[in-house]
Amino acid sequence: MAFRWSRMSPQLALTPAVAITVVAFIGSILWTIYVSFTSSKAFATYGIDFTDWARQYERLFKDKGWTIALKNMLVLGIGSFLAIVFGFILAALIDREKRGEGFFRTVFLYPLAVSLIVTGVAWRWMFNPSFGLQGALHSIGLTFISFDWLSKPETAMYGIILASVWQGAGFYMALMLSGLKSINTEIWSAARLDGVSFWRLYAEIIIPMMKFTFLTCAILLSLGVVKAYDIVVAMTNGGPGQATWVPGYFTINAYWVKSNLAYASAAAALMLGITALIFLPLVLLTAWRERARTS
Amino acid sequence: MPRVIFEDIIKSYGKLTVLKNLDLAIDDGEFLVLLGPSGCGKTTLLNLLAGLLDVTAGRITIGDRDVTDLDPKDRGLAMVFQSYALYPTKTVRGNLKFGLAAHKLPTAEIEQRIAWAARLLQIEPLLDRKPAQLSGGQRQRVAIGRALVKKVGVFLFDEPLSNLDAKLRTEMRLEIKKLHDELKSTIVYVTHDQIEAMTMATRIAVMDAGVIQQFGTPDEIYGRPANLFVAGFIGSPAMNLRPATLSVAGGKVAARAAGVDLDVSHYGFLTAPRDGQSVVIGLRPEHFGEPDAAVTDPAGNFSLPVQHSEKTGSDATAYLKFGDGLIATRVDPELIGRFKQGDTVNISFPQGKLHVFDAQSGRRL
Amino acid sequence: MSTGLLSGDARVEAAPRFPRKRKGISGRSIAILVFLSICAAFFCVPLYVIVTTSFKTMEQIREGAIFSLPSPITFEAWVNAWDHACSGIRCEGLKVGFWNSVAILFPSLMLSLTLSSITGYALALWKVRWAGTFLFILFICAFVPFQIIMIPLIILSSGLKVYGTIWGIAIIHAVLSMPFLTLVFRNYYKGIPQEIMSAAMMDSGSFWRVFGEIIVPMSGNIFIVVLILQVTSIWNDFLLGLTFGGLGTQPMSVVLANVVITTTGEAAYNENMAAALLTAIPPLVIYFILGKFFVQGITAGAIKG
Ligand SMILES: Nc1ncnc2c1ncn2[C@@H]1O[C@H](COP(=O)(O)OP(=O)(O)OP(=O)(O)O)[C@@H](O)[C@H]1O
Ligand SMILES: [Mg+2]
């Protein structure tokens, strides 16, 4: 076929994006995975000792910090699911009671507009044992409430969860709200005519209809939890001790503080693995929806 | 001005073959209408000619240029789309001007062409509006204008009138026809509206299932449909098609259908009729004679009970029970009173208006 | 105007024959509104607390009444936060970070919008080989954790001599947001009617002309949505700024974190709160003015992505 310049332009226009994808993403991922099998310290070395290729990973699983990080990730994940539940409740109520929709939406969503660092700093202040909320509560006699979660290893994660929920609930509310709005209005009318009760309508019709939205929210939330870093730095900086380490924090710490390239790479590779595990359902979900749409 | 020739065109989407070994030659200055039911491949054929799709196999020539591998803009064509496809953010003038984007013309020439097209289509007052501020008919004109300014030899129209209301459609039909008479360029026009096809075309290509069923003038298509598909597709109400059996005896040929004998001795058979041959006979509703009035030398007389009748203002159709089906007859609305349900009426069908098709192949005999 | 042809017309002016009571607000509605208001209060408490704290004196803060209104009101904390707050050993305030963030923002926006809109356009409206595969890869890249590509990117950017510079951070932002923004643009451009693109192919056929003259003018909304998405995400970013920012080129959020976390001795809480607010104000202003587009951005991206 004759050479057609017009066919080339789109391909040429894609070169920067392809180059970025190949170098900054695919290449970099492969590089990191490769380095995780070496024994690089502050600088990358490329020899792999094949008798002991998994040493970084073995070390990782013996590392108390990594175990804590994984456990905290789970705790954060489970706790953050509150954000989805909370988000759905808010969305359902807003959608039902149309009054004040704009106002409530604006209020619930504004935390999302600010940096997680700001969120962290704000909550850190509220958790301040002497001058924060605890002080205020104690001064009015409610001394049995303790609100110094961040300073105790057992409760510090809950503080982070609370701040995350505060920041994220609005996001899930917005997603749910747009999901609810996409439900055919005739369903509401039909339900009213049939006299279906409020709870049954939600439990049996609305929630099953929104399964895509729920799944999307769950996956986005999980991906966010794996990446969590900023909020931890801003609220506890990993402390007290290692109590609030998460994988993202661990990895960056291994690189910047311990200057151990291979070790950090191994941790990052595991983060990628966890992401892939979460991501798999998302890929399947997309395929499923594509099928549902075409059939 | 160019001749457009399709040679052995095949177009497939994956496993689905939409056009099958299609050949078509369009003469210079012709108003060719591609007519066919939805999904038969009309748009596909037009897009292949425009270069918006690539052929799977085959060759397309315009004039003496092989355009099969050329870009749309280099083919010397202009196209009017069903949804008009006006650029929403450009004014009417901008739309027309962008139509000339590929041509690198001097500004004066561009201005002059826009003025010419605007005058011709009476859209001069609209030149500085955006498409959203135009009515359907006006958009249609702008879309045609965008094609006209290119001053090409071949114009393509893909169902350009289907988004207009009935009245406007009739108006635009006449105008497009007038444009063709004035410009004398070749037009390839896609529609599934047979009235459009019959009134505008110099020739019609009737398509079905990716195959051209018949290619001829409107009179040929109507008067001598090449096969059962064309016979059933052209005409409204549709032609009555009834299975029949031929009997050949002593120079007389008769077609027997549901107990009625029709004399087809004078029918111009393309192949000699065989005795006992299964055929399908076609009787156009509009060719039946008046009820109870004798037709001189009829092909056959029917005496049938009325099932029901309907009036559409200027026209009326009566449905008569015939065998295990119905046949439709066009009736003068003044006489519709004679077709009461249950009554039996006598009507006859004249010689020479009958169509006979082979029952197996569906071809005209 | 109908002119009394309808028999009912005469009655329109008269008082209704069957007047209805205006429906009052139902009990359930009140309950819902009360609940929503309590939630709204929960969302507002942190904002209230940091705003009031930022205007208090340290003496008042030490009294421990976190919910009290500032008295006397002082702007000292704001001035300090902006001008003198210490990040590490440098005590130049947040203003350095602010201007760094601004300097990062503009080139980064230019780069990322150009790059991803063109890529999205090519993938959505032109026939490109492997487009499906490429889209799928982009989809995956959009979710990859930053840590897995951090180290090679540091090494690469050092090699290119942009590590630690404003431009380095700007480019990294554009690179990392490319997959996601491309998908957003691509989804939007998929909605442009095929016939418009066909018409443009017949009229011009030039990739760039069609983009510049037809497509870009048609994508006003999506540009605003992506712009806002990008402004807030670049402004609020911490990790990239921390990783790629050198001394003196760190963006505002990193400076804020330094100010708050790395203080020695008694923390100046009012100053910290003022610093947090200073950092939060730009995106909040955008959010309150252009909230509609902000919501579109986060939901469109998440649901269709
Ligand atoms: N991109 C495509 N992929 C697969 N099949 C297609 C594609 N485009 C068209 N087809 C199929 O090709 C056939 C012909 O389509 P075409 O658009 O040419 O029909 P048409 O004659 O223009 O119909 P209509 O009158 O409804 O416009 C249809 O069966 C259609 O389903
Ligand atoms: Mg079509």
Q: Give C203's contacts in chain B (Cβ within 8 Å).
A: 73, 98-102, 146
Mark which residues 91-130 of C lie under 8 Å from A by CB. 115-116, 118-119, 121-123, 126-129
Asked which of A35-44, B209-218, C15-24, C220-229 is least confident by mean pLDDT, the reply is: C15-24
Higher-confidence residue of A56 and C303: namely: A56
Q: How far is A253 from chain C (nearest CA, A)?
A: 11
Domains present along chain B, CATH in parentheses: 4-233 (3.40.50.300), 240-358 (2.40.50.140)
Ligand nearest to the CA of B207: 1
Q: Supply angle C-alpha A19, A21, A26, rounded to 5.
A: 115
Over the stretch A202-232, which tens digit does the pLDDT of each residue have? 888 888 888 888 888 888 888 888 888 888 9
Residues in CB range of B334: below 8 A, 6 or more apart: none
Centre of ligand 2 from the C-alpha of residue B197, in Å: 15
Ligand nearest to the CA of B36: 1
Q: Give C200's contacts in chain B (Cβ within 8 Å).
A: 87, 98
Over the stretch B146-202, which tens digit does the pLDDT of each residue have? 998 988 889 999 988 888 888 888 888 888 898 899 888 899 999 988 888 999 999
- Residue C215 has a pLDDT of 92
Note whether B73 contacts C203, CB cutoff 8 Å: yes
The number of residues making up chain A comes to 295
Over the stretch B26-56, which tens digit does the pLDDT of each residue have? 999 899 999 999 888 899 999 999 988 889 9
**Interface ipTM above 0.90:** no
Contact A167, A116 (CB under 8 A): yes
Contact B68, B102 (CB under 8 A): no
Query: Using CB atoms, which residue from B72, B90, B99 is nearest to C201?
Result: B72
- Residue C7 has a pLDDT of 45
Which protein residues are within 6 Å of ligand 1, measured from CB?
Answer: B 13, 16, 18, 36, 38-44, 192
Note whether B69 contacts A2, CB cutoff 8 Å: yes
Question: Which residue shows structure tokens 């490429």?
Answer: C134
Higher-confidence residue of C83 and B57: namely: B57
Centre of ligand 1 from the C-alpha of residue B38, in Å: 8
Measured from the Cα of B37, ligand 1's closest atom is 25
Q: Give C209's contacts in chain A (Cβ within 8 Å).
A: none
With an 8 Å Cβ cutoff, is B66 touching chain A? no
Atom 9 in ligand 1: which residue has the minimum CA distance? B44
Note whether B90 contacts C213, CB cutoff 8 Å: yes
With an 8 Å Cβ cutoff, is C286 touching chain A? yes
Q: How far is C6 from chain A (nearest CA, A)?
A: 31
Centre of ligand 1 from the C-alpha of residue B18, in Å: 7
Percent of chain A clearing pLDDT 70 (strictly above):
97
Q: How far is B98 from chain C (nearest CA, A)?
A: 6
- Residue A257 has a pLDDT of 85
CA distance C290 to C285: 8
- Residue C12 has a pLDDT of 53
Domains present along chain C, CATH in parentheses: 2-83 (no CATH), 96-304 (1.10.3720.10)
Report for A55-69, B244-258, B287-301: range of highest mean pLDDT: A55-69
Note whether C66 contacts A255, CB cutoff 8 Å: no
- Residue B128 has a pLDDT of 92
- Residue A28 has a pLDDT of 92
End-to-end CA distance of chain B: 38
With an 8 Å Cβ cutoff, is C64 touching chain A? yes
Note whether B71 contacts C204, CB cutoff 8 Å: no
- Residue B203 has a pLDDT of 93
Q: Give B90's contacts in chain C (Cβ within 8 Å).
A: 213-214, 217
B63: left (phi > 0), else alpha (psi -120 to 50), else beta?
left
Residue among B231, B242, B347 nearest B300 (CA):
B347
- Domain ranges for chain A: 71-245
Mean pLDDT of B114-143: 90
Inform me whether the pLDDT recorded for A18 exceeds 90. yes
Note whether A110 contacts C32, CB cutoff 8 Å: no
Mean pLDDT of B88-114: 88
Note whether B101 contacts C209, CB cutoff 8 Å: yes
- Residue C261 has a pLDDT of 78
Best C125, C202, C216 residue to mutate vs chain B (most B CBs within 10 Å):
C202
Determine the distance from the C-alpha atom of residue C144 to the mean position of all C-alpha atoms in its chain, rounded to a whole number: 20
For the stretch C281-284, contacts whose Cβ atoms lie closer than 8 Å and that sit 24 or more positions apart, written own/partner, are C282/C235, C283/A113, C283/A114, C283/A115, C283/C231, C283/C232, C283/C235, C283/C236, C284/A110, C284/A113, C284/A114
With an 8 Å Cβ cutoff, is C187 touching chain A? no
Q: How far is B5 from chain C (nearest CA, A)?
A: 20
CATH class of the A71-245 domain in this structure:
mainly alpha
Residue C161 structure tokens: 């001599």
Alpha-helical segments (H) within chain B: 42-50, 92-98, 107-121, 136-148, 166-183, 194-200, 218-223, 228-233
- DSSP tag of C23: P
CA distance A167 to A150: 17
Q: Would you call C129 exposed, middle or buried from its count of C-beta atoms within 10 A (0-12, 13-18, 19+)?
A: exposed
Q: How far is C208 from chain B (nearest CA, A)?
A: 12
Note whether B69 contacts A1, CB cutoff 8 Å: yes
Q: Give A6's contacts in chain B (Cβ within 8 Å).
A: 71
With the most atoms of ligand 1 within 8 angstroms of its CB, the residue from B15, B33, B42 to mutate is: B42
Question: Which residue shows structure tokens 């030659």?
Answer: B25
- Residue B142 has a pLDDT of 92
Percent of chain B clearing pLDDT 90 (strictly above):
25
Contact C241, C253 (CB under 8 A): yes
- pTM exceeds 0.90, yes or no: no
pLDDT in tens, chain C (305 residues): 444 444 444 445 667 777 777 666 777 788 888 999 998 998 988 888 888 888 888 777 777 777 778 778 788 878 877 887 777 777 777 888 899 999 999 999 999 999 999 999 999 999 888 888 899 899 888 888 998 999 999 999 999 888 888 999 999 999 999 999 999 899 889 989 989 999 998 888 888 999 999 999 998 888 988 898 899 889 999 999 988 988 888 899 888 888 887 666 667 788 888 888 889 999 999 888 887 888 777 776 554 43
